[in-house]
Amino acid sequence: MASKKTLTKQKKLPKKSTKKLKIGGMSFSEYSPAAELANNPEGVAMAMVEALIEGDKEAFQEILEGYVKARQISKVVKEMKISRAVIYEAMDKKKNPSLSSLCKIMKAFKEADLKENLAA
């Protein structure tokens, strides 16, 4: 009895199109702060430190959530070498992230920034 292959090559999905608006021959595209967050971990870390200094837990969580959404959780976990649980705990608005979790996240940002500077 011969076995049949059941796996097929997956089709690639089309890339998300950005909204473009043309006015008087000029082209405008939708602004996305997520792109800036994804490419600026140092700026994100500085903003989170500022939120911690100000005692603004909600701002810290929103900044972290924006960064994670912009970079994708799997990439963040791999680059920063911290668990998903630590990140999700810090982003959960119903919970109060532990000092340990905050320290792990900030240390991971510092190490990611150092690696980026060494690579440059």
Confirm whether 18 is domain-assigned. no
The rounded radius of gyration (Å) of the Cα atoms in the chain is 20
Confirm whether 34 is domain-assigned. yes
Give the C-alpha distances (Å, rounded to integers) separating 54 from 35, 41, 47, 119: 25, 20, 11, 33
Confirm whether 23 is domain-assigned. no
Confirm whether 102 is domain-assigned. yes
Domain count, the chain: 1
Determine if the pTM surpasses 0.85.
Answer: no
pLDDT beyond 80 at 38: no
Tokens of 89: 């705990």
Confirm whether 36 is domain-assigned. yes
Task: Give the residue among 99, 87, 97, 100 at the shortest CA–CA distance from 44.
Answer: 87
* pLDDT level of residue 68 (50, 70, 90 thresholds): confident
Range of the domain at 87: 30-119
pLDDT beyond 60 at 13: no
Confirm whether 9 is domain-assigned. no
Confirm whether 7 is domain-assigned. no
Confirm whether 63 is domain-assigned. yes
H or E stretch at 46: helix 41-54
pLDDT given for residue 101 in this prediction: 87
